[in-house]
Amino acid sequence: MRLLLAIPLGYGWTALATASLARFLPLPALEATIAATLASFGIYAALIVWIFHAQHPGRAALLMALSAAAMAGPLWISILLEGRL
């Protein structure tokens, strides 16, 4: 269960976080993309450590799902309104 959370789902969560950061950082598009991509390595590493440290993998999965939904909503609306990713 932890491997499933950490590797593929963690990668997807990190990709969503990276896209959200690139979209909402108050920088020009190129600099925001580079900064978000560089931050993604630390985000992914911290997420994996957190998942393997969690006492209840089910709670970790629920928290990942809720936070992914919280990131996906504004990102989706922003892409629909502005068109730049």
pLDDT of residue 53: 93
H/E/C letters for each residue in 7-71? HHHHHHHHHHHHHHHHHHCCCCHHHHHHHHHHHHHHHHHHHHHHHHHCCCHHHHHHHHHHHHHHH
pLDDT of residue 2: 85
For residue 82, pLDDT beyond 90 = no
**16-72 pLDDT, tens digit each:** 999 999 999 999 999 999 999 999 999 999 999 999 999 998 999 999 999 999 999
For residue 3, pLDDT beyond 70 = yes
pLDDT of residue 19: 94
